[in-house]
């Protein structure tokens, strides 16, 4: 693995590790946000999540972010790990930064966070779709 790729993947993983640790360590504080998000989902999806505790979802999300970030940085299936992280950002961003529910300065702050996560997703998708280097024999 080249130093450049290692640094790029580590930089892309850093915010995911921070967010993942925060979600895993503070899962109980995230239950309200998760419950609101689940309530906003279509009934078909909501019914599949009815027996799952919101705090458990937060812990699973956080631990998955940390594990996928570590794999990406270490070069263990980095494209797969980046794809997992990018896909996780969709519900995480929609649940965590619903700017459409806010007004004024709070709305502007939520938009900033939402757009920042879109940028993270773009970087992760760039890693996920990077051309795989073939091994020379």
Closest by CA position to 20, among listed 69, 66, 71:
66
What is the pLDDT confidence band of residue 52, given thresholds at 50, 70 and 90?
A: confident
b/e sequence 15-26, b meaning 16+ C-beta within 10 Å = bbbebbeebbee
Angle at 104 between CA 102 and CA 105, to 5 degrees: 100
| pLDDT surpassing 70 at residue 135 | no
- What does the block give as tokens for 32? 């309200």
pLDDT digits (tens, 9 = 90+) for 62-115: 999 999 999 999 999 999 999 999 999 999 999 999 999 999 999 999 999 999
Is the pTM higher than 0.85? The answer reads: yes
Q: What is the pLDDT of residue 84?
A: 96
Backbone phi, psi, residue 26, to 5°: -120, 35
b/e map 108-118, b = 16+ CB within 10 Å: eebeeebeebe
């Amino acid at each position: 693995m080249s130093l450049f790729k290692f640094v790029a993947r580590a930089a892309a993983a850093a915010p995911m590790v921070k967010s993942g640790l925060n979600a895993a360590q503070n899962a109980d504080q995230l239950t309200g946000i998760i419950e609101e998000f689940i309530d906003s989902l279509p009934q078909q999806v909501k019914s599949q999540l009815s027996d799952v505790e919101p705090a458990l979802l937060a812990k699973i999300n956080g631990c998955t972010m940390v594990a996928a970030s570590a794999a990406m940085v270490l070069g263990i299936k980095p494209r797969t790990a980046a794809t997992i992280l990018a896909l996780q950002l969709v519900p995480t961003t929609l649940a965590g930064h619903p700017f459409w529910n806010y007004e004024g300065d709070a709305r502007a702050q939520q938009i900033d966070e939402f757009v920042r996560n879109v940028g993270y997703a773009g970087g992760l998708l760039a890693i996920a779709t990077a051309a795989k280097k073939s091994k020379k024999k």
